[in-house]
Structure 1
Amino acid sequence: MQLLAIDLGEQSFHIHGITNEGEVVSIKVSRLKLEAAVEELSPDCVTIEACASSHHWGRRIEAIGYPVRLIHLRFVTPFVKGAKNYAVDAEAIHEAALRSTMRFVPVKATEQQGLQMLHRTRDRLMTQRTGLINHIRGLLGEYGVVLPVGASRFRRDIRNAVAEAKLSALALENFNTLIDEFEALDERV
């Protein structure tokens, strides 16, 4: 078999390929039996749709001796025929991978995935920090206190702005709690 396409699911996967004799292979396999199924079919190459667990499975299949190419979902979608299901998706992955001009995603090493995770976590923290800054600025605006836009200006001015504002004890306590939360997020970023 030249090419084997795999559509990854949560509990089971669907494999699609065409044997050298022209027979279509389209089978559903469990997570535990995927590697054995790949070894049994012994393809020249395996193509998997790039998704949440594709790098993990790519590394596992490469470890048993088969080259793996990952293909982005947007390149598979035009090849989906009929109602969407695992079998149809696996066939679409197979069809897309046969195109001579197709672009593939390399399988990431665990170290690369760790670095990518770090970047994504930092992005999430920055989004949370920006949301918190805007929340505090909005609440301060209700007391007539306007701070300039930007995290660095906010960081520089917030404590003084709250200390100088005419606030009730409850508002002051809440603002200090929010500022503490901001500073903790800012530190993590």
Structure 2
Amino acid sequence: MAKYDFDDLMSVGVDIGKDVFHLVGFDRDGQRVLRKKIKRLALIATFEDLPRCIVGMEACMSAHYVSLALRQMGFEPRIIPAIYVKPFNKGQKNDYNDAEAIAEAALRPNLKTVSEKSQEQLDLQALHRVRSRLVSRRTAAMNQIRAFLIEQGITVRRSVAALRTSLETILDNRSGEMSLRMRKLILGLQQDWVWLDKRIEMTTYEIKDVSETEEGCQRLMTIPGIGPLISTAVVAVIGKGEAYDRGRDFAAWLGLVPRQNSTGGRTILGRITKRGSKYLRTLFVQAAQVIMMRPQNWHKFSFGRWLEEAGTRMQHSKLGVALANKLARIAWSVLNSGIYFDVKDNEIAAAI
């Protein structure tokens, strides 16, 4: 392969695709000096002939792998959220324009980038994604069973436990109310449900095993409402939280802050933004709801007085989001400081 003569190359934007990558590079004067399409397998060979510089890429599948490979070669990779690349995109959307926008965004000094995940974080994140998919499939199977039963004139109470305990009795005692084919279909869905239960249980045990050996997870689980699932999910996503300057930034990334539409010095706040990780945000909201179900324990927490006062002026759902925001900020502080959370110690609570 011919050598490139790009001594003044300042940044390269990489638009990552499934089979091909599109590269656009700028020199120190802001002139475009590189515009190339390469195969995925030619990535290493192509960058070996380029001078070491800043390499930007959007946060997407395989971005962490590409970032790690380029860092080992001496480049300075920057993984950029797609929402921060969009303002730099000129003209119509195509792969080269996307790569050019990424190259320009990578040069911004104050741009927030995504922290590079280690292999352990990627493995842990994969566990959570597999478990989430299995739970979704189990819910779909249960809903389909309910729908088929309703079509036969048979209704079951809403809870999962009610369906689990009643299904065998329905299939045994009310088989005359449905056809043989329908009964076989429901039995097949029940077998899928049992199989999914076992898979979910196995994946959950594996996640719990990680939480027992990971120091960051052990610190996070000292926070009220946070157990193995949330602690491992947080560690998988943010590591030690180096990508954020403070806990409020992490809570804002999760989408647990009001959306602003302010102008002329007038602050207008709306619903929460719901940006960032939907899965992690849901877990924090669920943790907050569990804490709110036990008001008799609020006095044990360092934030118990705040929770009691907020409960008198906030609607229940809004209070749950506010508490989820506080838990997320505490979680970042615990990870970043390396200190265990003590419900009797206000040192961490004051720091956020």
Partner residue in 2 for 1:172: 183
TM-superposed deviation, 1:7: 1.3
Partner residue in 1 for 2:91: 82
Could you tell me the percent identity over the aligned residues?
Answer: 35
Counterpart CA distance in 2 for 1:154 and 1:186 is 14
TM-superposed deviation, 1:81: 0.4
1:24 matched to 2:32: yes
Question: Is the contact made by 1:145 and 1:165 (CA closer than 8 Å) also made in structure 2?
Answer: no
How big is the alpha-carbon RMSD for the aligned residues of Structure 1 and Structure 2? Answer: 2.1
Q: Deviations over 1:122-148 (max 9, x none)?
A: 111111111111111111112222112
Q: Deviations over 1:129-185 (max 9, x none)?
A: 111111111111122221122333322322123222243444333322221121111
Q: Deviations over 1:54-74 (max 9, x none)?
A: 112112111212232101112
Question: Is the contact made by 1:4 and 1:43 (CA closer than 8 Å) also made in structure 2?
Answer: no
- 1:67 and 1:139, CA in 2 relative to 1: closer, same or farther beyond 3 A? same
1:186 matched to 2:197: yes
Q: Report which structure shows greater RCO (CA 8 Å, sep ≥6).
A: 1
Q: Look up the SS of the partner of 1:14 in the other structure.
A: strand
1:162 to 163, 167, 171: 171
Counterpart CA distance in 2 for 1:66 and 1:136 is 54
Counterpart CA distance in 2 for 1:111 and 1:137 is 40
Q: Look up the SS of the partner of 1:41 in the other structure.
A: coil
Q: TM-score scaled by structure 1?
A: 0.87
Counterpart CA distance in 2 for 1:186 and 1:154 is 14
Question: Is the contact made by 2:10 and 2:53 (CA closer than 8 Å) also made in structure 1?
Answer: yes
TM-superposed deviation, 1:21: 5.7
- 1:162 and 1:89, CA in 2 relative to 1: closer, same or farther beyond 3 A? same
Counterpart CA distance in 1 for 2:195 and 2:150 is 23
Partner residue in 1 for 2:56: 47
Question: Is the contact made by 1:16 and 1:94 (CA closer than 8 Å) also made in structure 2?
Answer: yes
Q: TM-score scaled by structure 2?
A: 0.49
1:13 matched to 2:18: no
1:121 to 112, 119, 130: 130
Q: Which amino acid aligns with 1:124?
A: R
Q: Which amino acid aligns with 1:8?
A: I
Partner residue in 1 for 2:149: 140
Question: Larger deviation: 155-164 or 67-76?
Answer: 155-164
Q: Which amino acid aligns with 2:116?
A: V
Structure 2 segments unaligned to the other structure (5+ residues): 1-8, 201-352
Counterpart CA distance in 1 for 2:195 and 2:20 is 42
- 1:10 and 1:175, CA in 2 relative to 1: closer, same or farther beyond 3 A? closer
1:2 matched to 2:10: yes
Question: Is the contact made by 2:54 and 2:106 (CA closer than 8 Å) also made in structure 1?
Answer: no
Counterpart CA distance in 1 for 2:183 and 2:29 is 77
Question: Larger deviation: 59-68 or 38-47?
Answer: 38-47
Structure 1 segments unaligned to the other structure (5+ residues): none
- Map 1:101-120 → 2, pairs under 5 A: 101-120=110-129
Question: Is the contact made by 1:70 and 1:104 (CA closer than 8 Å) also made in structure 2?
Answer: yes
